[in-house]
Amino acid sequence: MFRVGVDLGGTKIQSVLLNKDNRVLANDRRLTPHDSGPPGVAQAIAGSVTQVIKKSKVATADVVGVGVGSPGQIDKRAGTVSHAGNLPDWDQTFPLGIELAAQIDKPVDLGNDVQLAVRAESELGAGANLNSFIGVFLGTGIGGGVIINRKEWLGRGAAGEIGHMIVNQDGPSCPCGRFGCLEAYAGRAAMEAQARAWQDTGQKTILFDIMKRKKRERLTSGVWAKALKKHDPMATRLIDRAVTALSVGIASAVNLLDPDGVVVGGGLGIRLGQPFLDRVVQETTPLMISRERPPQFAVASLGDLGGAIGAGLLPLD
């Protein structure tokens, strides 16, 4: 029962090959191409799948299926992905599942990237011993998930949007078009936009120097981590703001749901790790109704591979 799981993101494509015990036998990571539209992305995924199978030394014939976690709107039955704003030229609907299945000659299942990362943490990661938890995944945006009785609660399909809990209605504009969402404070894209705006008014920061030195075009999680380590005042201020907003959003969600735990993941959450989480816990605790018995807080333990591992569970359904 070997399977490949692929986490498709705006920046990178991460693939893993899992054995029957869901252990990762091999992985492949490559940049998401931004110059050839959805067909180019499909081709890059096919290349990554072929490569991860090759690396694992498992016979291609023994791989039963491929799961892909994607942003945007997923139609699992039709095998399509629509409106994936972070992906290149992906405003319309593209038959990713069908294209990919044709190229690699394997069954392909699609799922929502964040939902799969939350599911992986619930089945195999930091949430494995929690009956209920709130997953908060910090990346370009903020995704989330709600686990109730060990199963992801999807509501009418779109539950888990903790990034669009409103932390302060008079707050900054959010990439979603509203104001003062958690993501407007603690999503990487929003933090970068704020940093650029402040730099344009003459405020100093080493964030963009680090970015250039790392040959990046965006403020990646690694750039933020480095700037914090160097005590850059603007990075520190933006992360402080993000911690405060996260505390308000998480406390509100905890007061509403009283879950067993809170799992913080995503590229930025994992990169900043336990010290960052400790600060979030410290600011969240006084805002909780049940502060004398707080939920367990944990960093997502599957790390960067969580999304791909979650995708690799899809062929088992």
Contact between residue 261 and residue 296 where contact means Cβ atoms under 8 Å apart: yes
Residue 244 contacts its own copies per CB under 8 A: yes
- Contact range with its own copies by CB under 8 A, out of 13-21, 47-55, 102-110, 159-167: 159-167
Return the range that interacts with its own copies (CB under 8 A); candidates 67-75, 104-112, 117-125, 157-165.
157-165
Range 26-85, binding its own copies (CB under 8 A): none
**Interface with its own copies by CB under 8 A: which range of 31-39, 115-123, 195-203, 250-258?**
250-258
How many angstroms separate the CA atoms of 208 and 211, rounded?
Answer: 5
CB 69 within 8 A of CB 52: no
Among 1, 78, 158, 197, binds its own copies (CB under 8 A): 158
Is 152 an interacting residue with respect to its own copies (CB under 8 A)? no
Residues 162-191 that bind its own copies (CB under 8 A): 162, 164-170, 176, 178
**Cβ proximity to its own copies, 37 vs 172, nearer residue:** 172
Q: Which of 57, 77, 156, 215 forms a contact with its own copies (CB under 8 A)? A: 156
d(CA 272, CA 44): 29
> What's the burial of 159, exposed, middle or buried (CB within 10 Å: 0-12/13-18/19+)?
middle
Q: Which residues on adjacent β-strands are paired with residue 26?
A: 17
The total of other beta-carbon atoms located within 10 Å of residue 95's CB is 16
Residue among 302, 297, 306 nearest 263 (CA): 297
Q: Which one among 5, 69, 127, 144 touches its own copies, defined by CB under 8 A?
A: 144
Pairing of strands 93-94, 80-82: antiparallel
CB of 230 to its own copies, least distance (A): 29
Residue type at 124 in one-letter notation = L
User: Contact residues for its own copies (CB under 8 A)?
Assistant: 132, 144, 146, 148, 153-162, 164-170, 176, 178, 244, 248-249, 251-253, 255-260, 286-287, 289-290, 293, 295
